[in-house]
Chain A
């Protein structure tokens, strides 16, 4: 199956590590029947073929039971037959079929109960709405006296428990808002539902002609649809983000006094402990190297893509990746005091300092709710003044509240956000929060990090065409055996130039911190650090230097197009980088950007973002490194590539999965369009109220009018939101296009039949 191509690219060198038994146990659940249930994230699962391959590979293992892939969350669940847990065969089996499994943290396994309870509420409300509506139709068509009373009582028996059960979704946030002395959309919604039900019970009790049970339950049903869609959107984004590889290790292998090795959860690691770090593992806590030599990818901490060499005495920060050789390190700090945690503290502080933002729907509610409540009050006073009949007056006032219930308004925002999120999802952009979309539409200043954001963060061979194919073939063959980014860049360059790595290399050995060597046709070849010093990587045969390879960090696809597109929309762009000024200047020049700053520490980045905000700019921060994380939180809205540090992904409003930087412009465009549709939906809701309120004030809002008006306005709002999916960029042009197509079709049909087009139009 073609979409499974990604599954075959797992690099042999990157997949030798398997979590220890304790690490697996730590992120597994013990079930009531004593079996142990393990969940693995397998981000490469894409399609039905992947399901078969993964489940097939795991079913073949005797120690497992019931392997089951969940394609939506890209996870696989299985149970162990015995207590004897060994992850080696499981990981090996998955890698053999081309999938790289990841352990997920215990708190990510917890099943989402909100979704289920929303679905249950939706089902109950749907059932009740359908049945009550059927009973109401008979009342509208003229059932009277005892029959009408019977129908009203049956409706009441269905409606009361439904409102009590399904209405909690709105009552709870409404109460919370009132307790905080503010108004959100849930307050008028709850009020309308409760009043409609209450008044209907009173009417039914007194054998009245009008009961609004249908209105209150249909209202609940429509609003629950909006709420459920909204929740599913955020859940989908969260799952997809949580499924990606984690940066922070869950624990570390501690070497005891007697040389024994035991895996400990991260919070049990203390300063002074000796830790074993295998090649390919992340450094769990800030530490100093005691033994061994290796290359360390420090990009997560410094933003630099070129690995540093670690040897005895080198200080390492938590989160860095050990690339080539095993290390023994001494923990310098406990996990809670380490670099990662320090970043988290800065992140919290920055989040607290970020500009307060009130959701658009809540801002609308703050205007809308008082207007509606005042309208109801004046209706009551007006009727008292004119007729003096308090019962008629109260009914008219309540009818105003019911009919103005922000059904359309409550749907207007979430439905557009859901459609926008699914549109972004198809472009590989995950919206983590609906408010990010609202804030994105106001952005007028974009701040980019350099390494890993504007650039790919992976070195690439310079002038690949200039090297001989034999030389590159040998280098690539050696390179496939190493995890060092330069080695992998060489292997990749050979592949792109259709050069096959030579076969027959034997006795391959990685010399951590130096390079890699192997024997071919009786001669010793070495690929690695240049003996004469300097940048780049050398290929030597014996002592003869065969070639020197130089590397550059490549720009992300569409980087300069994105920058110029943003600047055309009057959105200013600048680079904030931790890299040295000269490199940053080169990158800025390549992209045609004039505004850049280099040599920045995390605190400097926050300061710059906050300075821009104090000048009144709305700032979008695009970054990836751990050093960017606090400024991601400080910005109004932020976007990160999916390879970013996991706490960065937690802090960001949007995550983009593909390499191209045009994700930024796509997101901004969709945000603008969504905002326009939300405004249109608000306008439609206001228009509806201009028509409906006078009817209710004058006492014409019968249950039939209320039901028609509410359903009608909700459907109009939903249909309007769906226009976001169309390619059309201007409002109403889609309707125009539809009319044109329709006209054209008719015209051509008429032409075929030899009629005059005008006659039938």
Chain B
């Protein structure tokens, strides 16, 4: 059962990392224009740096 002592924290940490990444992307406005993002993916001459 000792394996749980580091497996569970690892699992929770990775999950929390995902959550933090999502919250960051939300805060930086990556979900503010979903329709536009779909078109921009097809655009060759544009840099894909988020605003």
Contact = CB atoms under 8 A, between A and B. Distances in A.
Given A131-B11, A131-B15, A52 B43 contact: yes
Most B C-beta atoms less than 10 A away, residue of A47, A48, A154, A158: A48
Interface residues of B, number: 25
B4 A71 contact: no
A123 B34 contact: no
A73 interface: yes
Given A47-B39, A51-B43, A119-B31, A68 B26 contact: no
A147 interface: yes
Contacts of B1: 147
B19 to A, nearest CB: 4
A61 interface: no
A127 B19 contact: yes
Nearest to B26: A119
A120 B40 contact: no
A232 to B, nearest CB: 10
Given A48-B42, A51-B39, A131-B12, A70 B18 contact: no
A70 B15 contact: no
B42 to A, nearest CB: 6
Interface string A35-77: 0000000000001100110000000000000101111110000
A120 B16 contact: no
A73 B46 CA distance: 21
A72 B36 contact: yes
A142 to B, nearest CB: 14
Interface SS majority for chain A: helix
A154 B9 CA distance: 10
Interface size range on A against B: 20 to 34
Contacts of B19: 123-124, 127
Contact of A150 (B4, B23, B31, B46): B4
Contacts of A51: 36, 39-40, 43
A52 B43 CA distance: 8
A67 to B, nearest CB: 11
Interface string A455-487: 000000000000000000000000000000000
Contacts of A134: 11
Contact of B26 (A69, A120, A127, A154): A120
Contacts of B26: 116, 119-120, 123
A72 B38 CA distance: 11
A47 B36 CA distance: 8
Contacts of A147: 1, 4
Contacts, number: 54
Interface in B7-23: 8, 11-12, 15-16, 18-19, 22-23
B36 A70 contact: yes
A19 B42 CA distance: 35
A130 interface: yes
A123 B35 contact: no
A131 B16 CA distance: 10
Interface SS majority for chain B: helix
A123 B31 CA distance: 13
Interface string B26-51: 11000111111001101100100001
Interface string A134-159: 10000000000001001000100010
A68 B46 CA distance: 12
A116 B28 CA distance: 11
A702 B4 CA distance: 25
Nearest to B46: A52
Interface in A77-128: 116, 119-120, 123-124, 127
Nearest to B41: A48
Contacts of B43: 48, 51-52
B11 to A, nearest CB: 7
Contacts of A130: 15
Nearest to B50: A68
B18 A127 contact: yes
Contacts of B27: 116
Given A52-B43, A127-B18, A66 B31 contact: no
B51 A120 contact: no
Nearest to A75: B33
A72 B15 contact: no
A134 B31 CA distance: 28
Contacts of A120: 23, 26
B46 to A, nearest CB: 8
Contacts of A66: 51
Contacts of B16: 127
Contact of B39 (A48, A123, A124, A158): A48
Contacts of A73: 33
B29 to A, nearest CB: 9
Contacts of B15: 127, 130-131
A70 B35 CA distance: 8
Given A119-B26, A124-B19, 12 more contacts: A47-B39, A48-B40, A51-B36, A51-B39, A52-B46, A66-B51, A70-B36, A119-B31, A120-B23, A127-B18, A154-B8, A158-B12
28 contacts: A48-B39, A51-B36, A51-B40, A51-B43, A66-B51, A68-B51, A69-B33, A70-B32, A70-B33, A70-B36, A71-B33, A71-B35, A71-B39, A72-B32, A72-B35, A116-B26, A120-B26, A123-B22, A123-B26, A124-B19, A127-B15, A127-B16, A127-B18, A127-B19, A131-B11, A131-B12, A131-B15, A150-B4
